[in-house]
Amino acid sequence: MMPVLGGLFLIASSVLVTRRRWCRMKGRSVNGGLLLLAVLLMASCTLAHLPGEAWLGLVHFLPYFWLMAAQAELMASPKQLQQTAILIALTVLPLVLIGLGELFLGWSSPGELADILPWPPTAGGTPPGRMASVFGYANNLALYLNMALAMLLGLVGYDGWGHDCEQNRSHARASVAPGACSAGQPMLDVTAQPVGTAILADALATPFSDAVPTALATITVSPVMESWLSHWPRSRRLFLWTLLIILCLVGLVLTQSRSAWGLGMLSGLAMAIYWGWTWLGAVLLGFAGSIFWAAFGPFGKASLRRVIPDFFWARLTDQNFSDRPIETLRITQWKFVLDLSESRPLSGWGLRNFSHLYQNEMGIWMGHPHNLFLMLGAETGWFITGGLLGLVGWIFYRGIEVIRTKNHLNTADCYLFFGILIAFLNTIFFHLFDIPLFDFRINALGWMIVSQILGVVYLSDAGNLNLGRTEQFKAD
């Protein structure tokens, strides 16, 4: 029920944004590229092996193109990055607790809760022995926790040393011009009115047609919760983020997702490098290297295996599942989709056609080939796949440019924005080995992250990244 309700708010706000800012949206080059990709995707459906299946497959792409274009227009201040990060961070607690309950206490949703939990937890996890919580499958939860971990690390950087940097700069400016408002002031100022309250107050002071989009854009973090967190001491917020990071890591370990383990390690390494904590990077590399050596080392691995629990290295070697049929192996599926793409490199075979083609050839049904980009190449053709990757890659590159040049973005905000960028990379790399986007919650969150990166790029180009509070939502 809650994901459906959130989806309805997302759709409603996007509809209103489209109505109010249609002229601006039409002029965006990114939106022109999305429109071209949408037309090409529909054209590929008419040439599909099974056109009906291909047209159904558009639901995983076209609505999210529109949502991304609309939601990017709602980015009026870097404060909204913090709202998103806090929202995702706080969901870690119930998700992991439910996951622990399903694994160790046999929790499962009774029938009367089926409407509230559309993908109820299953006693013992899904697959058995792996935490899935309410996501219905362990890998879907693993990707969500990876994105949450990156945002939590961004919040730690923001509230930690990023905050100190900005406080020092603010004090320096104040000594030159007492009472002046510093453009580098951190987003979360405990002496200021909570941003959610300020935005809603502004919205309620406007006509209803103008207020609704702004209110919907900020409903994800309620004014009460935001006020509560903003008045916490910084040390208490850091303690909360640290506790949630620990819970997030526990959840990632128990999902037993090798991709999630690797990406979680790389997220920590990337943030350690960005923070300048070389010792932390060395510790993470040493820990990861020890596990990898215990699994695949040419010598000395027997000694390491006596120290490192087999829970880790045995999962990497996959020795507990050594008798898998060759048709279920990723390498078999990847070879099959590469053969498909070679036979139809331009038009592809059509979205959702992989499963039928694979079953006809191998005699076994597989929902997807465990690599989004190979799947798109086989199903839509390499021209469309390259266009989509190029467009999303350009948005990410522009986000990196904002970080690199600090164009109107203060130091504290950079720490948080870097966490958002790492969450985006986690989504991309995870789809090299699995395809969780078929879960609409994962898909929506991934595109929302892209929209926020794009929104920051728009603000940077306009020179508006130092806004202290969200601007009024006005029609063009």
CB atoms within 10 A of CB 265: 16
Q: How confident is the model at residue 189 (pLDDT cuts 50, 70, 90)?
A: very low
Mean pLDDT in the chain? 82
- 235 or 468, which is more confident: 235
Rounded Cα distance, 401 and 403, in Å: 5
Q: How many CA atoms lie within 13 A of 302 on its CB side?
A: 1
In the prediction, which pLDDT does 213 show? 38
In angstroms, the Cα distances linking 233 to 85, 219, 253, 423 are 18, 24, 31, 26
Q: Which two tokens stand for residue 20?
A: 């109010």
- 310 or 53, which is more confident: 53
pTM of the model: 0.86
Chain-centroid distance, C-alpha 457 = 18
What percent of the chain has pLDDT above 70?
78
In the prediction, which pLDDT does 395 show? 97
In the prediction, which pLDDT does 163 show? 58
- Does 90 score more than 70 pLDDT? yes
Taking only the tens place, the pLDDT of each residue in 275-294 is 989 999 999 999 999 999 99
Long-range CB pairs of 96-99 (<8 Å, 24+ gap) are 96/131, 96/133, 96/145, 96/247, 96/248, 96/250, 96/251, 98/133, 98/134, 99/125, 99/131, 99/132, 99/133, 99/141, 99/251, 99/254
What length is written for the chain? 476
81-92 average pLDDT score: 90
Taking only the tens place, the pLDDT of each residue in 408-421 is 677 888 999 999 99
- Does 183 score more than 70 pLDDT? no
- Does 470 score more than 50 pLDDT? no
In the prediction, which pLDDT does 464 show? 60
In the prediction, which pLDDT does 199 show? 36
In the prediction, which pLDDT does 217 show? 40
Taking only the tens place, the pLDDT of each residue in 29-47 is 999 999 999 999 999 999 9
In angstroms, the Cα distances linking 432 to 330, 347, 437 are 11, 22, 12
- 360 or 121, which is more confident: 360
Q: Which two tokens stand for residue 248?
A: 């997030």
Q: How confident is the model at residue 188 (pLDDT cuts 50, 70, 90)?
A: very low
In the prediction, which pLDDT does 469 show? 36
Q: How confident is the model at residue 234 (pLDDT cuts 50, 70, 90)?
A: confident
100's CB contacts (< 8 A; 6+ apart) are: 131, 250, 254
Taking only the tens place, the pLDDT of each residue in 327-367 is 889 999 999 999 999 999 999 999 999 999 999 999 999 99
- Does 247 score more than 90 pLDDT? yes
Rounded Cα distance, 359 and 271, in Å: 43
CB atoms within 10 A of CB 386: 14
250-254 average pLDDT score: 97
Taking only the tens place, the pLDDT of each residue in 201-213 is 343 334 433 334 3
Rounded Cα distance, 328 and 364, in Å: 8
